[in-house]
Chains A and B, each alone.
Chain A
Amino acid sequence: MRQQDFDIVIVGGGGAGLRAAIGAAEAAKEQGASQRIAMLSKVYPMRSHTVAAEGGAAAVTSSDDTHQAHFDDTVSGGDWLVEQGVVDYFVHHAYQELVQMERWGCPWSRKDDGQVQVRRFGGMKTARTWFAADKTGFHMLHTLFQTSLKYPEIERFDEYFVLDLAVHEGAVIGVIALQIATGELTLLRAKAVILATGGAGRLFRFNTNAGIVTGDGMAMAYRHGVALRDMEFVQYHPTGLPGSGILITEACRGEGGILLNKDGYRYLQDYGLGPETPLGQPENKYMELGPRDKLSQAFWQEQQAGRTGKFGDSDVVYLDLRHLGEKTILERLPFICELAKSYINVDPVKEPIPIRPAVHYTMGGIETNPQCETSITGLYAAGECASVGLHGANRLGSNSLTELLVFGRLAGEQASRRAAHTEWADSALLHAQAERQQATLARLCDGNRSGENWVDLKHAMVQAMESGCGIYRTEESMAQALAQIRKLRARYREIRVNDASKIFNTELLECLELGCGLDIAEASCLGALERRESRGAHQRLDEGMQTRDDVNYLKHSQVFYQGEAPARLHWQEVDVRFSAPAERAYGDAGKGDKV
């Protein structure tokens, strides 16, 4: 088994991982230290899911905007389940990070005077979302990747699948990875490790996420005893394409797109988001620019009332952009046109786009403190895989791209500082753990064993999650889902890979990802079942649980892994030091919000 030694190992080459790598490299330079940084990713960095983000990244930009306003939007958007100290740090560092991106060459869209342009986004009081046409994530990821090439100290391990962390006496000592091209195991000894492995949208059948978004990093930390926090909060995006789930960005509504039911009626005014804003004059926090959870819930209500249309076998409502005119649509939303034309054969210039909600974002994740460190010494997490406490019960669109930057950098700097005064652990310790991994892999791929088929298990999992933990949830549906997931976890122990080849064995990877998925699905279901209230993205239909209950549940859920035994749940206090919980209101009802 090959072993290599690094000061810092970063797992994940998406926005968070790349920003962490650059942050660590810069921090090392500042300390006058020479540190070796390894960045592993199961796909080439520019394939990471950040590439798919369309809409934009938020930061207080214009002179009439304030940090307080961004703070308030984020806190109320998250239904007060956020760490307010973290949000405070976030809003104060957002702008400098976006400017830093600009300095690295990110092609932000511009105003005529050459300054960066901002657009409106759902749940944000003012226009503060920076964008690069409708390919913001794409441009950010490529800018970060290309910039990372400037740093020789960042050594990339592309297409290495990280199997496990090596942990000894409560401290991380390295990672164990599989080189996908050869099937060889590699040991990376490290003084600090950063997880930046992204979300877990693929737990659900219908989602906007890329195929690689399977929650691997969450499972790795979880299996070593780190809590997964607030996993019951899963964001449905109101506008996915029927069939594939491909995202139609919220920016469409920011630009003035409207939502219609099958009768051509702007139904959002019936759900506390009105009054109707005039065509072509979108107003923040009203109607189509309400937050995602409310919009997805409104869809569900319309569906129940039989006022949705049909596209293929999906129930849909309609996103109408036509009144924006061809020029604006093509200039501001070119990618959307391309997507709609290719994938459902609809030209947004001429027809409304049929859409439906789809799972989009994992609010919860690996619990970290405000410095991005987990309960394991030297182990950090940043990006969508982490729960640093920014999003609470519902993430606001365009906060997460900024999160990657703000907390990616912070994690990188923290890891660099720790590495500076930490020694490598004894190699023998790593080898022992790697041996165990090797045995597990060998068992998985043992062709002589009959066993469970990963395809069946995967379909059963996404089915269970969708029916149990959808836009609206009931005690019964969640209990069923949890029971099913636990059964599937037991069956997973007997899973078998047909492909015996060592080279680029993607079936093996699917199975490993599924194992991760099932573990965190249990955490997600358990959190959902135990949270007997409705808050943010977690909405119950059960009697007496349809509203927020701050007395009992103004708390983070923490789920702890128990091996083969059922996972355990704890509650954790929330940091509400700046802003006391208040009614979360949009439309005219939200007018009284303090500014």
Chain B
Amino acid sequence: MTTSHALAPALGTGRSPFASLVRQREVPVASALVVLVIVTTIANPLFVSAQGVKDLMLNATITVIMAVGLGAVIITNNIDLSVGSILGLVAFGTGSVFAAAPDIPIVFVFAIGLALGALLGAINGFLVTVARVPSLVITLGMLYIYRGVNNAWAGGQQYFAGDRPAAFGRLSVDTVLGVPIITVIAIVVVVLVAVFLARTRPGRDLYAIGSDDEAARLFGIPVSKRVLTAFVLNGTLTGLAGVLYASRFNSVGATTGTGLELDIVAAAVVGGIAIFGGSGSVVGAAIGAVLLTTITSSLTALNVDKFWQQAIVGVLILTAILVERIASIRKARRLRTSEATNA
């Protein structure tokens, strides 16, 4: 009766490489990015000059890393609103480390930053999984707490790029084959996390949990452990972003990273990660982050009135979730009718 006989072609789940490529969730956002770059370049060729491209990559780097981390959390149907505060703490921590030990090897600084980020992420994950409280509430609270700690720690103190070794600052200046070093780091991060999520068992568990956590529990997936992993991963990557922030920008202080959280959520959502978990990929989130940072540059390059920029970003976010929704409705309908005809 209702088993799906020979439904592969009807559903388009056939193995035609092109067909399956087109159905990737990353496609709409990637196309939007390409179109945006092309249009901007036509109007202003400088947009893709060596410097222009370098700037675009640099701008996207930190957002990309954070969007990838948060993406992993959202895939489990959780959220971490405290990422802006975590970034601020780590960035200021980086400044402090250099101030305290100017000759410290840069690798150590990265290690410290990542560890601090991981710790903060772990606190969030711990509260969410142990107390079984919705992550939105917990991390909203932690947003305030971490920011408060940052303020208390930093006070009026700020550390400037000049306080840090030149080699550290050069990470966000020097390039490898035209790609800034910190961007290379970001690309490596995207690839590693993407492989982790797509090709390892714990990674796939995250999707299963986001898809239906009750079923995951029944299935014997260690749900709490995995969710904790996602939060720690997110914290670690946000920590990395914090260190890179200190490398790239002039000053780090009490307010660094304020208000970043919604931008990062927006990047992940625009990149096709469903806000209620279970689907999407961190590659999509990364492209979403690139799209959102590029659109700002692009509007400036196009001399679009700066007052319109934010409104356009808003429209973009709404469009992204609309497209996503329409695609999923169509898919559901296709699947349903194919069931019916096969019944």
Are the chains A and B members of one assembly? no
